Amino acid sequence: MKFKVQIGLTIFLISIFAFAGYKAATSFSLGAGIFPLMVGIPGLILCMIQLVKDIDSRFEKDIEEKPDDFVDVALDPSIPIEVALRGAGRMLTWIIALYLGIWVFGFKIAIIAFFVLYLKKEGKARWLKTLILTGIAGYTIFFHFDRLLSLNWPAGLLSKWIDLPWLFM
């Protein structure tokens, strides 16, 4: 599985560099295209070398055994990649659901609903805890971010259809 993820990512990067290089060479003037070309061509070559390394079984053992010594926060090694992917898919679904909620209802309503649903479903929190945490979030949004800092929020379709109370505008 890890092997597939590695190959998939390398192919994705190859396509990005190839597209960027092609566009820079064919659609941009010299002034606009020279830097993307300077970046895209070596990127494409390096990605292809990486792909060969990924595919070649001689290197596969090397990839698995060599520990990561580059500077980055490593993945929790105790979690199998299949479990990690499933969990990530689940989280992604929550995020997309929140986005859809924002698109339809607007940020303020969607985030409050998200708090209740997420805390009940994933957090397995009791109703009291759920309500307290949602209350804290609501207070922070409505009074600190909205009134004090006058931040902007994505408006939903709902606000176009009906006149919402000022609190949810």
Separation between Cα atoms, residue 61 and residue 135, nearest integer Å: 52
Is residue 35 within the footprint of other proteins (CB under 8 A)?
yes
**CB contact burial 80-113 (16+ within 10 A = b; e otherwise):** eeeeeeeeeeeeeeeeeebeebbeebbbbbbbbe
CB of 166 to other proteins, least distance (A): 19
Residues of span 66-85 touching other proteins by CB under 8 A: 66, 68-76, 78-79, 81, 83-85
Is residue 135 within the footprint of other proteins (CB under 8 A)?
no
Nearest to 153 by CA among 102, 116, 94: 102
Is residue 149 within the footprint of other proteins (CB under 8 A)?
yes
Q: Which is nearer to other proteins, 14 or 164 (CB)?
A: 14
Which of 13, 131, 158, 164 is the binder for other proteins (CB under 8 A)? 13
CB of 164 to other proteins, least distance (A): 18
Given a contact cutoff of 8 angstroms between Cβ atoms, the answer to whether 112 and 137 are in contact is yes
